[in-house]
Amino acid sequence: MNVTRVQVPQRDQYLAQIDRLLNSHVLHGSESLCKLLRYLAEHALDHPGVPLKEYQIATEVFGRSPNFDPHSDSTIRVQAGRLRLKIAEYYASEGADEPIQVEIPKGTYVVSFHPREPSPARQQALAQAARPGGMAAEDRTKDGWKLAFLILLAMVIVAAATVALLLGRNPRAVDQASEPVPVAFTTFWKAFDNGPEEPWVIFSNGAFVGRPETGMRYFDPVRDSHDDILDYYTGVGEVLAVHALDHTFRLLRRQIRVKRGSLLSLDDVKNNDMIFVGSPAENLTLREIPSTQDFVFHNLDSGPRKGDLAIINVHPEAGEAPYWIGTPSHVNLVEDYSIVALVHGLNPAKSVLILAGTTTLGTQAAVEFVCQQDSLEELLRRLQVQNGGELKPFEAVLRVKVTRGVPVESDIVALRRAKP
């Protein structure tokens, strides 16, 4: 028996399953997660039973320096948590009929492969295709697949009609049958999950002039007319951020209402719990309502980065920088900084959550940080909030590392809890 490697036919079958995962819609654009999955899978197949350490993954997959400390840097845990969610999403959607289940048990970084029973629809299709008759084997197979296709099509139509009927009766009917909600999610999102009205997600859409086909730039009040403003564009980070929030609130069996910042009124802010996606540089309503006090967005007034947007540290503590600023705009973005802050709204009974970076990718990272179990647990631990406890206003700054236009890791570099 081969004890060092999986047998060749089985290995090829497992790697084919990994390739289908890597090419799936759920992992599309997640280059870092794809790289991590392939590395973990190949290690599991080449070295069965041999565990992996966070340090090894950090240095060999993400190119971290040899002084990487997994105790103070949660990068690998966060990325592994994201990957587990993506794999679960795949098998609940486009991979529902896959013959092999890929898993990464929580607490480990070892990929495991398990055979799966075909879904009932698939079993019936296979049975129909294999049913004997008086025709040649090849013809029976063709006709069998035709019959299987018709059966599957009919079942899909019936299932769609059933789901539509259920949703028409109760919008939450399907969600109620989903997986249990992790305690970290119910603790962090309590203020936005318990109100009578759905929370509002307000995404930034900056003021531009020009047109896409001729060139666009930010509105300049000195030389541009307000009549020339195009306020219906936003960044890719905001788009992916809204998607992440929608997924999180579906997990909480809750809906959200989405609105672009330029259409928001102060009456909206007074009467609703709000989640702002994007900085005051583009989410202009944030300039008119109570916002952060310890960490604020501001364009630098002097120095080599004069005019660039930074996060100012209003009251620096020992060892902290006076401000944080990402990669210069004339080179590829590899680092950004974000704010995650919970504050009281214009109406103190309402909550405002601010998720914003100095760039669109920093904004995406801030939202993903509060939509993933591992990073949420780390934030709650740093805030000393017990499971199910009360989350009080706070402000945090994240350092975001970016690879090829994708935020791959985020770490808390400063944190303040609101003073009584």
Q: 3-state DSSP call for residue 3?
A: coil
Give the per-residue pLDDT at 148: 57
164 vs 191, which has greater pLDDT?
Answer: 191
Cα–Cα distances in angstroms (integers) from residue 279 to residues 144, 189, 241, 266, 293, in the given order: 58, 21, 13, 17, 14
Q: For domain 183-417, which architecture applies?
A: 2-Layer Sandwich (3.30)
| 186: confidence class by pLDDT, cuts 50, 70, 90 | very high
Lowest mean pLDDT of 16-20, 126-130, 228-232, 334-338, name the range: 126-130
Q: Which of 270 and 128 is assigned the larger pLDDT?
A: 270
Domain regions of the chain by residue span: 8-115, 120-169, 183-417
Q: Do 81 and 74 contact (CB within 8 A), yes or no?
A: no
Backbone angles phi, psi at 217, to 5 degrees: -150, 165
Q: pTM for the complete prediction?
A: 0.59
Q: Where are the beta strands (DSSP E) in 153-256?
A: 200-203, 208-211, 215-218
CA distance 125 to 145: 7
Per-residue pLDDT at 3 exceeds 50? no
Q: CB neighbours of 16 closer than 8 A, spacing ≥ 6?
A: none
Nearest to 247 by CA among 351, 341, 371, 355: 371
Tell me the C-alpha to C-alpha distance, in Å, between residue 220 and each of 36, 64, 229, 235, 300: 43, 41, 10, 19, 17
| pLDDT level of residue 226 (50, 70, 90 thresholds) | confident
Q: What pLDDT is recorded for position 174?
A: 42
297 or 160: which leads in pLDDT: 297
pLDDT bracket for residue 230 (50, 70, 90): confident
Burial class (CB in 10 A: 0-12, 13-18, 19+), 331: exposed
Weakest mean pLDDT among 191-195, 212-216, 379-383: 212-216
CA distances from 86 to 37, 100, 174, 317 (A): 11, 16, 20, 38
Exposed/middle/buried for residue 348 (C-beta within 10 Å: 0-12, 13-18, 19+): exposed
Model pLDDT for residues 92-131, shown as the tens digit of each residue: 888 888 889 999 988 889 999 988 876 665 566 556 655 5
Q: What percent of the chain has pLDDT over 70?
A: 83
The residue with tokens 């900085």 is: 279
Q: Helix, strand, or coil here: 108?
A: coil
State mean pLDDT over 67-76: 82
